[in-house]
Structure 1
């Protein structure tokens, strides 16, 4: 259901009214998706932190359900089920979400915006950051630290390096899970380079071969050997895992690629200075990542046009938010001097709607507001 009236908020609703009014004035229609959601999209598409914090249940038909842990996927599903699917549309929201958070309350309020269908990606990204800053000001919080990144840059880098597919998957997964890539790359490289065995030549041949053909060969060999499943895994699953390990063992991450990735991940600071460093890296290493750098530069220009002081914005190539569905721009707003948990966070997720069932890819970007934390900060007057 797409609603036109705001949900009742706990406590003082003044900040809620102010926040939702600012979203409405920007053209975002209020959405109220159901609290109970299919669990599969969250299990398949969210980051590890959300997956392990779900509250799960099962209905009478056996379908696994969950209390919504955030509102991005529910609003996206609602958009796809509406008559506006495939068209430019923007939605706002304010309501409870449910995650296990240790000693912190498992139910808390989340507000935010999701924008679908806009092809002017750099401008839409800049608008999200500008609206996020307006959201903090609605709570009386006027000074925040702005942290930004762009997973599309890392994706472009990995693609340009021409690594084995298993390395690409491994590195992208580590980036999205906020693992220290530099540490992980070192461990994998050492393990790959020092592991030797009597069938190393076979592994090298498989690693460099067509993936489908190699998978078929390994599956056939296991079937001939009489294997059906081991430890609950099917022959196909075991074969796929074997191929991944064969690549890691026989095709260690090349040293020149490691050096380039380390140099890339060290870039941070003023966005415009970062752009210059990225162009220098691309030129030195002869990497075709110009389109991703151009998109970053265009976004920074639109941010400046919206009055955002980009010199006060910290950009980092290693910045990631830990959500598997992000594909581009990512950002967090933090309280000055208290940077552990974000007050507002968001980013671009152009592939999510297609993974939710859309026939075509749909550009999408948005952000979430930790409303109660901001309300408490605004009430206490720090920072302001």
Structure 2
């Protein structure tokens, strides 16, 4: 058996430069954000697992900095600082990012596109997918698996259900963590008033409060008590467990509500079929999620208008990329039958710029390209 030759570094760089030029020709201005970034936005916005992969340091004043682990947040921060925040602007980029990856290089090259301020969300989403597919084609990859989802649909479902606010927050948090979500759904059917503790009222009060503030309070109480480690768990882990118990203070949910969530999460297949299943679910369960379904249908139409083979796209309501700031359309492009890690991936993040300091919400969508992985997949193909 012949071992595939390693991709040419020179050839890969040339194709990456050509890809960046094609993004620029499509109307996206090249961006060059600083390699050294404030760590806080990544820690707060990218998900709970990001800290273990960051390369961290501090400046002279003690502020925590990191080598940029991706380029979406740095490009967004520069856009907000440009004085053009809120105006429709598009950017492309190509450069190194730094992230600990067990057994793989921690420095690798990433390209991508970010689009800010466009009001035509469905058309912008379809354009990102089309540009992502152009990236795979530029590296000679013809057989691509397209995986898509929409966390906005799940958010619409949760908003439409008769759920306590604590459960709504918990389920949205767990959407990208399938094991936790499955466990929560089971607990929601099993929780009973018999499980109440003497401090049930305290738990219920914490459940309705801001999570970061509640977590700080519990940590302070543990510190005041002088505890440092119980059963091998840190104070932070104990505090998290206590807040998890507070979530259960809301009591059990009707079985039909949990069944509606489970039916929603089981929808998968061609996008048009998914739309039909979603409309049937909404009608059967009397759920007001028509606006979110309409947006999905519009997006499918714009994809078809761009010449994409919609029937070849796999849509799943349970699909999520594990990044907390995504708010809508999400996608990944994979070499078919060759790899769990995406070669191109992205999505919509309409809430991110507000959390980074924008005075008003700014629509945003984009994607990243893993150049080395794409070059290798293209050469093997």
Query: What TM bracket, shorter-length normalisation?
Result: 0.7 to 0.9
CA–CA distance in 1 between the matches of 2:378 and 2:243?
54
TM-score by length of 1: 0.85
C-alpha distance in 1 between matches for 2:178 and 2:243 = 25
Distance in structure 2 (CA, Å) of the matches to 1:207 and 1:195: 20
**Quick check: 2:325–2:352 contact (8 Å CA) kept in 1?**
yes
Q: Does 1:15 align with 2:15?
A: yes
Alignment correspondent of 2:86:
86
* 164-173 or 285-294, which deviates more: 164-173
Verify the 8 A CA contact 1:267 1:277 in the aligned structure 2. yes
Contact 1:95 1:111 in 2 (8 A): yes
Contact 1:185 1:258 (C-alpha < 8 Å) held by counterparts: yes
Measure how far apart 1:105 and its partner are.
0.5
Distance apart, 1:244 and its partner CA: 6.4
| Alignment CA distance shift 1:332-1:198 (3 Å) | closer
Q: How many residues align?
A: 357
Gaps in structure 1 of 5+ consecutive residues: 1-8, 220-225, 233-237
Sort the Cα spacing of 1:83 and 1:285 in 2 relative to 1 into closer, same or farther, 3 A.
Answer: same
Give the aligned partner of residue 311 of structure 2.
311
Equivalent residue runs for 1:292-331 within 5 Å: 292-331=292-331
- Aligned position for 2:95: 95
Q: The residue matched to 1:52 in structure 2 has which SS?
A: helix
> After superposition, where does 1:134-213 map in structure 2 within 5 Å?
134-179=134-179, 181-187=181-187, 189-190=189-190, 192-193=191-192, 196-197=195-196, 199=198, 202=201
Q: Distance in 2 between matches of 1:16 and 1:201?
A: 57
Partner Cα distance (1:227, 1:333) in 2? 45
Q: Deviations over 1:261-311 (max 9, x none)?
A: 000000000100000000000000000100000000000000000011111
Give the CA deviation at 1:17: 2.1
Indicate the residue corresponding to 1:75 in structure 2: 75
CA contact (8 A) 1:330 1:346 kept: yes
Q: Aligned residue for 2:46?
A: 46
Name stretches of at least 5 consecutive residues in structure 2 with no aligned partner.
Answer: 1-7, 229-237
1-structure distance, mates of 2:240, 2:337: 46
Range with greater deviation from structure 2 (162-171 or 133-142)? 162-171
TM-score by length of 2: 0.86
1:1-384 matches, cutoff 5 A: 11-12=10-11, 13-179=13-179, 181-187=181-187, 189-190=189-190, 192-193=191-192, 196-197=195-196, 199=198, 202=201, 229-230=224-225, 245-380=245-380, 382=381
Evaluate the alpha carbon distance shift between residue 62 and residue 247 of structure 1 in structure 2; reply closer, same or farther with a 3 A threshold: closer
Work out whether residues 193 and 251 of structure 2, in 8 Å CA contact, stay in contact via their aligned partners in 1.
no
Conservation of the 8 A alpha-carbon contact between 1:164 and 1:247? no
- Output the CA distance in 2 between the equivalents of 1:110 and 1:37: 16
Aligned to 2:234: none
- Cα 1:71–1:198 change in 2 (3 A) is closer
